Amino acid sequence: METNKKNTMYVQNIAYIPVVKEIKIGNIGIGGKNIFCLIAGPCVMEKEKVVLFTAESLMKICIHEKIPFVFKSSFDKANRSSIKSFRGIGIAKGLRLLRKVREYFDIPVTTDVHSEIQMDEVSDAVDMIQIPAFLCRQTDLLVAAGRTGKPVNIKKGQFLSPWEVKNIIEKIISTNNRRILITERGTTFGYNNLVSDFRALPIIRGFGYPVIFDATHSVQEPGKLGTSSGGDRNFVSYLAKAAMAVGCDGIFAEVHPEPARAMSDGANMLDLEEMKTLLRKLKDIYYAR
């Protein structure tokens, strides 16, 4: 009861921070007085032409809409439901492809890191390290990420309360790295379901660092199909607009030219036209809030 009382008081007393710390990632700024950013790309790297086409298309959309853009795709999805699921193209091919994206299109790139032994190799190829939600409390992994000196985007685990994010932040700060982003991606709600509590955004933002809302993973249905996760992309737009109204510094979205043919998370991904339409709606909300 004492813990619940403490947490309730914390939520009630949280202060909204209109401007949080600016984090520079490549040639863009996130947080501070910058407009919201987009972090997006295919869930997992597939064929090179799919990755390059998606990156170029998103880049053009974001240039037209004047939205800062970071390309994200994973070379390995180490937490797939089934041993038979496609995991990716591997670290060597994946990092070569991320370097191509960065070189060809002059945009910052990020990818997931699942273990400390990958950290140095990945940090040489990307502009930002991303920590998957299931690993957000892995102290050695977080410390290794912080020691790279790169910006670190940590996905908040589905199993964590928003006020526990302070512990994550302190682990990165222990390495003298304050280039931190936190991504909210929903909370476990019974079996095979997630729910988005939008109180989490101002609570996490209250720690002073940019907060990103993961609009596509928040509609995921983890493990719903038995050997893979389900999801409902019809709700992506609703949740993204709500997050923008509440206040966030960026939107994370998994995007694919043909989500129905994607090799991971197709059920909750957007296609390129859907992403373009959503960005325009989010801009209207951003300037109205």
The pLDDT of residue 83 = 86
**Which CB contacts under 8 angstroms, 24+ apart, belong to 146-150?**
146/171, 146/172, 146/173, 146/174, 146/175, 146/176, 146/177, 147/119, 147/175, 147/177, 148/119, 148/120, 148/123, 148/177, 149/177, 149/179, 150/123, 150/126, 150/177, 150/179
Which residue's entry shows tokens 């685990």? Answer: 157
The pLDDT of residue 2 = 44
The pLDDT of residue 266 = 76
Which residue's entry shows tokens 């209109």? Answer: 18
- Which mean pLDDT values do the consecutive 10-residue runs of the chain (289 residues) have? 45 64 96 97 95 98 98 88 82 98 98 97 98 97 98 97 97 98 95 94 96 94 64 91 97 95 84 97 96
CA dihedral 28, 173, 116, 70 (to 10 degrees): -10
Quote the CA–CA distance of 236 and 261 in Å, as a whole number. Answer: 18
In degrees rounded to 5, what are phi and psi of residue 110? -145, 160
Quote the CA–CA distance of 259 and 263 in Å, as a whole number. Answer: 9
CA distances from 168 to 28, 49, 140, 182 (A): 24, 36, 12, 9
The pLDDT of residue 225 = 60
Query: DSSP class of residue 82?
Result: S
Q: Please provide the CATH number assigned to the domain covering 36-288.
A: 3.20.20.70
Listed by start position, the domains of the chain span 36-288
Collapse the DSSP code of 118 into the 3-class scheme (helix H, G, I; strand E, B; otherwise coil) and give the result.
Answer: helix
The pLDDT of residue 15 = 57
The pLDDT of residue 192 = 87
